[in-house]
Structure 1
C-alpha cells in the first residue's frame, strides 16, 4: 500500500515511468485486472506497457484470451522504428515465434517461428532472448527440420546464458550422443547441475541412469522425492520450464519408482503402491 501511495504521488507529479511501474506492481502481485487497466491507459506512449498487454491478452491474464490482439501488439513492437521499442524487439520476436509455432492468434508456420526465433536469439547474444535460443534447440530436436547438431549448438548457447531447460537437454544429448559425441561424464555433470537447479526433466533422466546401472536404492530414493512433486503447472512457473518436459521427467521418475516397488529393488516391495504409481504414469505424457 505504501508503494502504491508513493507511485500515485509521483504520477500526479508527472512522472511517466511511475505509470508503468504501477501496472507492473499490480502484474507482479497477480492483480491482473488492475494491471490491464493501468497498462491500457499508457499503451500509446509506453512500449513496455504495450508488450505487457500483448502477453496478457495472449495468455488470458485479467481478460479473456485474445491471442490475435496479443499478436498484434508484438508485431507493433517489432515493426516500430522508435528507439524506445528497441530493447523489446528480441522478447517480442520470441513471443511472436511462439504464436506461429502454436498456430494461436495467427496461422501455424514453423518456418516463420524459426525465422523469428533466430532473430530473437541473435547468434547467442546473452542480452538477446535466451528463451528463443532454447526454443531453437527444441525446434531442431523434434520438428520436421530435425537437425541435432543445430539443436546442440543452440542448447549450448542457451545453457551458457543460464537456461535451465537447455542444461537438462544438453545432459540428455551428451548421454545418448545426439548431435555430439557421446560423453557420459559431461552428461552427468549437466544433468546433476540442472537437477540441483530444479529441472524435473534432468531429475527423471538421472533416475533412469541410476536404475539401469543397478543403483536401485539411489534410484528409488531419488524417484520418490520427485514423484511427490506432481503439480506440473506450479513446477513450470517456479522453474520457467515447459510443462511437457516437466511431465516427461516426472513420468520417468514415477515409472522407475513403481518398478522398484513392484520388484523390491532398493526399497521394500509394495505391490499396491507400485500399482498406484503405474496408474499415475499412464495419466501423464509419455516419456521419450
Structure 2
C-alpha cells in the first residue's frame, strides 16, 4: 500500500465529505439528531450560511439549534448582526421547562449576562448581568459555566466598590474547574495579597503553571517577579520570548483568554525588556532597542506602560 495514497484518504477534505455523506444518510433514515449535527459540522467548518439554514429548519424542536442560532445572530455569523434576536433566543432557553433545554441554561445565562453587561441587544444593567452570571456559575459547579465563574471574578475586581474577596472566590472556583485565565489572575492575587493573605509560594505555583499552559498575563507577571528579585538574566530572556508575541487576537483564540489581559502581559514583559536593555541588566545594553520596546509597550497597553514608567522614574524598578 502506497503511504502517500493511504494518508491522502484521511485528508481533512475527505473526512469532511465522508461525515457529510453519513449525516445525509442518517437524515434520510429519520434520525432527528442528524439535522443538528449536520448544521454543527458546517458551523465548525466556518460555513455559517449553510449552518444557519440548517439550524433554522429545526429551531422549533431543537434547543441546541436555537442556542447556536442565538450565538450566530448575536455575533453576525452567516447573517446580519441581530443582537436582539440573539437575546430573545437565549431567554427562550433560560425560561424553558423542557429537559432538553436544561444542559444549555448555564451557557445561555452567561451569554445573556454578557448582553446586559455590554448593553448589546438589551438595555445595559450591571445588576442583571451579575444576577445571570451567578445563575450560570451555579456555586462553582464544574458542570456549569466556568466562563461565568471567571467573569464574576473579573466583575468583582473592577466593580465600584471592588469586592476582592468575592473576586478571589470566583477565580478559585473557575481555576479549580480548569480556567486558564483565572489561574493566572489567582497567581497575581496571591502575589500581592488581593482578596486573600499574601502567599508568594502559592502565587508562584499558580503563575508558573498558568504560564506553562500559555497564559501571557501570568508570564508578564513572572517577568516582573524575576526582575524585582534581580534575576535579570532570567527576566530579560523570558521577556524577550514574550515580547515576540504580536498577534493578540490569535493568542486569545488559542488560550481562550481575554485579549485585554494578553495585551497587558505582553506590555509588561516588553517594558521590562526595554528596562533591561536600557540599563544593561542581564543583557547587553542597547539604547536604540530599548527605545523601540518602550514605544511598543505604550502601544500595547498605555496604562500598564504609564504605571511602570512612573515606578522607573521613582527608582522602584
Pairwise TM-score range, normalised by the shorter structure? over 0.9
Match of 1:87 in 2: 103
Contact 1:174 1:186 in 2 (8 A): yes
**Cα distance in 1, alignment partners of residues 239 and 101 from structure 2:** 46
Report the TM-score when normalising by structure 1.
0.97
**Cα distance in 2, alignment partners of residues 111 and 282 from structure 1:** 34
Pair 1:171 & 2:207 matched: no
Contact 1:26 1:34 in 2 (8 A): yes
What's the CA shift for 1:155? 0.6
Alignment of 1:28-43 (within 5 A): 28-43=44-59
Quick one: which of 15, 33, 41 aligns to 1:25? 41
Pair 1:149 & 2:165 matched: yes
Match of 2:293 in 1: 277
Pair 1:99 & 2:98 matched: no
Alignment of 1:4-153 (within 5 A): 4-153=20-169
Deviation by residue 1:33-83 (Cα, 9 ceiling, x = unmatched): 221121111111111011111111112222222211111111111011111
**Cα distance in 2, alignment partners of residues 174 and 233 from structure 1:** 28
Alignment of 1:164-203 (within 5 A): 164-203=180-219
**Cα distance in 2, alignment partners of residues 248 and 65 from structure 1:** 30
**Cα distance in 2, alignment partners of residues 41 and 129 from structure 1:** 28
State the 4+ residue runs in structure 1 displaced beyond 3 angstroms: none
Deviation by residue 1:64-119 (Cα, 9 ceiling, x = unmatched): 22211111111111011111111100110001001111111111111001100111
Which 10-residue stretch deviates more, 143-152 or 175-184? 143-152
Deviation by residue 1:10-44 (Cα, 9 ceiling, x = unmatched): 11111111111111111111222221121111111
**Cα distance in 1, alignment partners of residues 55 and 276 from structure 2:** 53
**Cα distance in 2, alignment partners of residues 46 and 57 from structure 1:** 17
Q: How many pairs align?
A: 288
Contact 1:139 1:145 in 2 (8 A): no
What's the CA shift for 1:176? 0.4
**Cα distance in 2, alignment partners of residues 26 and 52 from structure 1:** 12
Quick one: which of 209, 215, 236 aligns to 2:225? 209
What is the root-mean-square deviation of aligned Cα atoms in Å?
1.1
Deviation by residue 1:195-227 (Cα, 9 ceiling, x = unmatched): 001101100100111111111111111111111
**Cα distance in 2, alignment partners of residues 108 and 241 from structure 1:** 24
Q: Which runs of 5+ in 2 are unaligned?
A: 1-16, 308-317
What's the CA shift for 1:236? 0.7
SS of the equivalent of 2:160 reads: coil
Report the TM-score when normalising by structure 2.
0.89
What's the CA shift for 1:284? 1.6
**Cα distance in 1, alignment partners of residues 161 and 217 from structure 2:** 23
Deviation by residue 1:167-204 (Cα, 9 ceiling, x = unmatched): 01100000000000000010000000000011011001
CA pair 94-145 structure 1, distance change in 2 beyond 3 A = farther
Match of 2:253 in 1: 237
**Cα distance in 2, alignment partners of residues 68 and 205 from structure 1:** 39
Based on CA coordinates, which of the two structures has the bigger radius of gyration?
A: 2
Q: Which runs of 5+ in 1 are unaligned?
A: none
**Cα distance in 1, alignment partners of residues 52 and 289 from structure 2:** 47
SS of the equivalent of 1:162 reads: coil
